[in-house]
Amino acid sequence: MERDEPEPLPAAARQVDDQTALVSKPRKKGGKGDLASAGFNIINSIIGSGIIGLPYSMKEAGFPLGVLLLFGVAYITDYSIILLIKGGNLSSANTYQDLVRKTFGLVGYLILSTLQFLYPFIAMISYNIITGDTLTKVFQRIPGVEPDNVLTDRHFIILLTTIIFTLPISLYRDIAKLGKVSLISLILTIVILIIVMVRTVTFSPQVPKSDNAWIFAKSNAVQAVGVMSFAFICNHNSFLIYGSLEEPTLKNWSRVTHVSVSLALIISVVFAACGYMTFTGYTEGDLFENYCRDDSLATFGRFCYGVTVILTFPLECFVTREGVLSATPLVFIIPSACYLKLSKERWNHSDNLISCLILVVGVLVMTVGFVLTVLHPQECSHGKEMFYCFSSNISSHNSTLPP
């Protein structure tokens, strides 16, 4: 008795199955990192230090809308870095640059390479500035350290931290080895979060609340999305982290991405909310600029932040001013555009529809954000003691507020 042969699948179904198999197939082994190390690296990329500007984004967007936008940016980040790996599997690309080159040719490759260069280049400049400014403020609080002490010299601190910490860390050849470094950075970030939460309870009553502090939305919401995008950007090292996995499959990558971005989102929302609730309309681009110089707990927080900066190469005030220009294409536009061009799914497939939506939103945010940044550049306070740190100024300030 002959066995019945299975009926062949329709052409469209075979095409979908072929693409699913192609997207999901594992890469060749070569990495030595486990899921935990990859997760720590993703979280560190997101909240290592860019988190310090998130309370400012609440001020720009309006607190309720800002929280909603933060959830939206986190979702797009999660979705886009998975799209990147899907696109890499479809095009057999192992790097972000290779993916764009195979998708959009030399022009696309040059554009991405420029963005990929600008982001770390500006970050490295900012890293030096932040390290020097932050740690010198900490050392000034040490008894016996006079203003002319070498520990208060920003250039000396930058040189010292570069030689002792930054250079050795940068010499790692395998990104998986940075998992422990990222774990330390995550622990320090949680310590900073606890400090900010404590000061919300103990210091918030001393800070007058600004007018319209709890308004739902403000006109600078688009610029706030740029700040959030820069804080959440981790697309530029997604291929490196993915390739470091012992079993680099789409399933493993999706799992570690969902967990990492979700944890980063929880920490970010709590940090942004507590920071903004403490200072409302007076919130600075660097939250630690809001705390008084004689605040010992805040000084310890500055120290933790300085170490975190050393471990993650962040941006400070540049986040609030130029983040919209370089982060938006890397997070919103390029991953979606690459997947849309490579995908062979039907136009109404969920991945295609969501990618189109993210692409449109990215173009809108980048365009409007650029115009607003040029027309209304944001100023960043530095080294200026806030008025509420002086009791006499608080009394005079309160007397001028409308009843």
The rounded distance, in Å, linking the Cα atoms of 173 and 116 is: 19
Domain count for the chain, please give it: 1
Is residue 138, in this structure, part of any structural domain at all?
Answer: yes
Residue 266: pLDDT above 90? yes
CA distances, 102 to each of 87, 88, 164, 241, 326 (Å) = 10, 10, 40, 21, 22
Structure tokens at 389: 């740190």
Is residue 60, in this structure, part of any structural domain at all?
Answer: yes
pLDDT given for residue 318 in this prediction? 32
The per-residue pLDDT for range 207-227, each reduced to its tens digit, is 888 888 889 988 888 888 888
Is residue 356, in this structure, part of any structural domain at all?
Answer: yes
The per-residue pLDDT for range 157-214, each reduced to its tens digit, is 888 888 888 777 777 666 666 777 778 888 988 999 999 999 999 998 988 888 888 8
Residue type, 216: F
**Chain mean pLDDT for the chain:** 78
Is residue 17, in this structure, part of any structural domain at all?
Answer: no
Confidence of residue 315 (pLDDT cuts 50, 70, 90): very low
Proportion of the chain above pLDDT 70, given as a percent: 76
Tell me the backbone φ, ψ of residue 273, rounded to 5 degrees.
-65, -45
Residue 123: pLDDT above 60? yes
Mean pLDDT of 255-262: 92
Is residue 65, in this structure, part of any structural domain at all?
Answer: yes
**Count of CB atoms within 10 A of residue 107's CB?**
10
pLDDT given for residue 378 in this prediction? 59
**Count of CB atoms within 10 A of residue 396's CB?**
10
Alpha helices (H) in 92-204, listed in sequence order: 96-139, 154-161, 167-170, 179-202
pLDDT given for residue 22 in this prediction? 53
Mean pLDDT of 296-309: 88
Q: What is the CATH number of the domain that holds 235?
A: 1.20.1740
Domain of 124? 22-376
Is residue 381, in this structure, part of any structural domain at all?
Answer: no
Proportion of the chain above pLDDT 90, given as a percent: 17
pLDDT given for residue 15 in this prediction? 52
Is residue 262, in this structure, part of any structural domain at all?
Answer: yes
Residue 381: pLDDT above 80? no
The per-residue pLDDT for range 60-89, each reduced to its tens digit, is 999 999 999 999 999 988 998 898 888 888
Mean pLDDT of 311-316: 49
Is residue 254, in this structure, part of any structural domain at all?
Answer: yes
Mean pLDDT of 109-130: 74
Better-predicted residue by pLDDT, 31 or 366: 366
